[in-house]
Structure 1
Amino acid sequence: MVSLCFDVAVVGGGVVGCAIAREFALAGASTVLLEIAGDILAGASKGNSAILHTGFDAVPGSLEARLVAESHALYLDLHRKLNLPLLETGAHLVAWTEDQEAQLPAILAAAHENGVADVRILTAAAARRRTPALGPAARAAVEIPREYVIDPWSAPLAYLTQAVENGATALFGAGVTDGRFDGAVWRLQTGRGEVRARFVVNAAGLYGDWLERSLLGASRFAIHPRKGQFVVYDKAASKLLDTILLPVPTSRTKGVVVCPTIFGNVLVGPTAEEQDSRADSSTDEATLRRLKAEAERILPGLAGMPVTAIYAGIRPATEEKDYRIFADAERHWITVGGIRSTGLTAALGIARHVLGLHGGAFTPPPEIVWPQMPNLAEHLPRDHQAPGRGEIVCHCELVTRREIEAALESPLPPSDPAGLKRRTRAMMGRCQGFHCAARLSALVDARLSVPLGAGPLS
């Protein structure tokens, strides 16, 4: 039972919920984040392509276009303050057919309308000079210099850590099962007892429509789960690619991307598979074979390269392409729904937008705390390179015992193996934990609520 009445309760611990909790905490609101799982990023946010988008291909004039552009600038402004990595890759949107090539001028015009003025069309020869390993069928490309790669997990962890360090509360195992608004205060029934708050922000992702319908009586949108499967190639593949390769998008999906990762691998995906289940993030061999074939068509040098990992995420798509953000001032409620593949980029802008919709006046903390996140990026100095590194526990990813101990002692420690993996890179490498699991288990099991052998690794 939590007796304090908070100014704001944020429901959902994905990247958007973490960013919203941060925004309200830094504004001075007493804030609680309620997450049904034992850790953040247990839902849609755990599976994404980790691209910092410019919004060049968003629908001009849409809320998504505005918030992605704002967020791109916000991330560039704060990433050094939180020690978050940035890999300045740029991107090429590649046309492989005559029809796709014919679409490039319209894509360029839309980018300019969205304020992304530094894009340009390249010939196939110019694109190949930038990426010599590009497949022979490439006809032309649009260059987008400010599309970058970031750490998909450290960013939301940093947002919530900063929120907590500046006074917010994070409650896990606190799924909202019911709630009542008495005209001034919400009384939310959760897995951790009753939580009272003057305002609720619904950032429940894949279950956002369910939460709105359950507590408000009706939902103004419907989630249509869309699964995306990914293939991660071994670090040896990184020599083929130092930029993001985008497809010409369709009306339904951005398509399959081939890009470097912050961890030194090459990522391929996602697919776009409509499904009824909001929880089925399984992978299947046939789809993964198709992904590999597509990747090897784009970069023929990937043929024969070993695959390190496969995974899938589920995007909370809705009946409309744009974000589904609604404010109900009378019932002290804001819903943030339909945040699909651009959520990692747009989270900071969405958070600022939601704070504006709330409209409350708070007193900010006298001094903002800026926690420093441990670096997990391959292109920057890692802990194993620092003096006194001690034991290396995960040899594939060169994760030190010092890093593992720091994660366990942090303000938001992992509660399960997947959370440990996202905070340290342990078990992310070629052997996927085969060699280090026993040692990790001895170090961490007593301090995790879900032991290493009993929990999912993604």
Structure 2
Amino acid sequence: MTNSTPHPTETHDVVVIGAGVVGCAMARRFTLEGARVLLLEKSPDILSGASKGNSAILHTGFDAPRGSVELACMQAGYREYLEIHRKMSLPLLETGAMVVAWNEDDLHKLQGIIEQAHDNGVADVKFIDRAAVRALEPHLASDALGAAQVPGEFLIDPWSAPLGYLLQAMLHGAQVRFNAQVTGGQFDGQVWSLATTAGAVKARTVINCAGLFGDYLERDLLGEASFSIHPRKGQFVVFDKAASRYLGNIILPVPNERTKGIVLTKTVYGNLLVGPTAEEQDDRVHAGLDSAVLQQLVDAAVERIPALEGMPVTATYAALRPASEKKEYRIRKVEGKNWITVGGIRSTGLTAALGIAQHVFGLYEGRHTPLAAHALQWPTLPNLAEHLTRDYQKPGYGEIICHCEMVTLREINAALASALPPGDFGGLKRRTRACMGRCQGFYCGARVAQLSADRLAIPLATGVCHESH
């Protein structure tokens, strides 16, 4: 497997712009369908934009808009993840979820949520009363009045999954170019000629997966944008691993018209997560933290799970979601331009990514010979999930580098030497969880810097980026 630099005169079947979770899934799908694919990313690593921060839930689509593209893509993505995750050693934590009513108004809304779930084909969603909620989640506050139980909502590793998608694409010939921001382009009726900060690129079809900048990319290359991105910030609080014993199910609120609301959930890494908020802002790059808002999240968590009172907070982080002026996904093929835009993919993108890639391939007009299923190669991803065997539990790991997250020397060396090594410190953290525990790199940061010296496109600098789960 190689990440070779494309020859400047090579014409690719497809160029995918943006290496978030959707872009990685897109590169995989088109490669497996036989296309020659190049993935362009303006940052030094994958998942450097909106995809680096989310709640890591694999959604059933029970509450997605009826008959929507979003619903179809979510459910197709859900099914495909269940089909392939074992082949890539990707974790799945089968928690289930409950949409909990905390007041009478919410209680009256549960029946509508259950009916919508059944309309969406999620037939196992059912109402459970206060006693059943209490039996399932004894640490929840006693004022929980009832819930819609959703057994099929699960948790996954949100960073290993897209890494696996892209690694499989690369195993079958896909190429990746980082630090390659698209600065212009022209279409001659058959081939796109793109200018990037890493050189010229030619492709028969362009797929815009540029996330927070997808509307700008449309405007710059097509002359006008068909949608506009309105960044929506979500702040999260991560409680210490000791907090996870107080929760089994994912606890969802009754949503409103604007947001699904604040979620309480374990993570596959063994923490307890609360968030996200939903804050509109103009800045598409910086997602600042607000101490007052973070305290509100802590207070909300304690109100729902009183045993969290006094529980240490391991980390806080904020991320931006590429919401648009409409709630639905903004997926469209531009006739006569060999261009497909995949925009407005918000919080459900992690689940829907594989399904979005299937949907977009259905819009694509190229004809290729799909790779034979029996001949597919499958990458094996390192396990970071606490409910499965970790590397430190196997002999020969060499040294524990990060004691908070029990990250081994073997894991860090493997990440740095992999076919798709991290391009920056954030990428190394997402691949290993080094510096993402209680001390946030205070004790292990110097050792990680030593090990990664001269091996990252952007060397490890002082400071810690907040993207912990």
Range class of TM-score, shorter chain: over 0.9
**Which of 185, 189, 192 is the aligned partner of 1:186?**
192
Partner amino acid, structure 2, of 1:440 = V
Segments of 4+ moved more than 3 angstroms: none
Q: Displacement of 1:445 after TM fit? A: 1.6
Q: Which residue of 2 aligns with 1:364?
A: 370
Q: Does 1:8 align with 2:3?
A: no
Secondary structure of the residue aligned to 1:92 is strand
Q: Which residue of 2 aligns with 1:414?
A: 422
Secondary structure of the residue aligned to 1:199 is strand
Cα deviations by residue, 1:200-255 (Å, 9 ceiling, x for unpaired): 00000000000011100111111011000000000000110111000000101000
| Aligned CA distance change for structure 1 residues 443 and 249 (closer, same or farther; 3 Å) | same
Q: Does 1:426 align with 2:420?
A: no
Partner amino acid, structure 1, of 2:279 = E
Matches of 1:450 and 1:189, distance apart in 2: 23
Q: Which residue of 2 aligns with 1:214?
A: 220
**Which of 17, 36, 42 is the aligned partner of 2:42?**
36
| Aligned CA distance change for structure 1 residues 72 and 409 (closer, same or farther; 3 Å) | same
Secondary structure of the residue aligned to 1:446 is coil
Q: Give the alignment of 1:162-241 within 5 angstroms.
A: 162-241=168-247
Matches of 2:42 and 2:463, distance apart in 1: 16
**Which of 42, 58, 79 is the aligned partner of 1:73?**
79
Matches of 2:72 and 2:134, distance apart in 1: 32
Q: Which residue of 1 aligns with 2:125?
A: 119
Tell me if structure 2 keeps the 8 A contact 1:74–1:349: yes
Q: Displacement of 1:456 after TM fit? A: 5.4
Tell me if structure 2 keeps the 8 A contact 1:231–1:310: yes
Q: Displacement of 1:52 after TM fit? A: 0.1
Matches of 1:110 and 1:359, distance apart in 2: 34
Partner amino acid, structure 1, of 2:395 = P
Partner amino acid, structure 2, of 1:273 = E
Q: Which residue of 2 aligns with 1:110?
A: 116
Secondary structure of the residue aligned to 1:309 is strand
Q: Give the alignment of 1:299-314 within 5 angstroms.
A: 299-314=305-320
Q: Does 1:296 align with 2:302?
A: yes
Aligned-residue CA RMSD (Å): 1.0
Tell me if structure 2 keeps the 8 A contact 1:397–1:425: yes
Q: Which residue of 2 aligns with 1:96?
A: 102
Matches of 1:280 and 1:10, distance apart in 2: 24
Matches of 2:295 and 2:376, distance apart in 1: 49
Q: Which residue of 2 aligns with 1:262?
A: 268
Q: Displacement of 1:454 after TM fit? A: 5.1
Q: Displacement of 1:3 after TM fit? A: 2.5
**Which of 379, 385, 404 is the aligned partner of 1:377?**
385
Tell me if structure 1 keeps the 8 A contact 2:441–2:464: no
Q: Displacement of 1:2 after TM fit? A: 2.9
Q: Which residue of 2 aligns with 1:158?
A: 164
Q: Which residue of 2 aligns with 1:393?
A: 401
Secondary structure of the residue aligned to 1:138 is coil
Matches of 2:371 and 2:259, distance apart in 1: 42
Structure 1 unaligned blocks of 5 or more? none
Partner amino acid, structure 2, of 1:372 = T
Matches of 1:278 and 1:37, distance apart in 2: 14
Cα deviations by residue, 1:74-129 (Å, 9 ceiling, x for unpaired): 11000001110000000010000110001000000000010000000110110110
Tell me if structure 1 keeps the 8 A contact 2:212–2:231: yes
Number of residues paired by the alignment? 458
Identity, in percent, stands at 59
Q: Displacement of 1:352 after TM fit? A: 0.5
Cα deviations by residue, 1:15-35 (Å, 9 ceiling, x for unpaired): 000000000111110000000
Partner amino acid, structure 2, of 1:304 = G
Q: Displacement of 1:455 after TM fit? A: 7.2
Q: Give the alignment of 1:311-322 within 5 angstroms.
A: 311-322=317-328
Tell me if structure 2 keeps the 8 A contact 1:418–1:455: no
Matches of 1:329 and 1:220, distance apart in 2: 13
Structure 2 unaligned blocks of 5 or more? 1-6
Superposition TM-score, scaled by structure 2 size: 0.96
Partner amino acid, structure 2, of 1:249 = P
Relative to structure 2, which stretch is displaced further, 213-222 or 44-53? 213-222
Q: Displacement of 1:319 after TM fit? A: 1.3
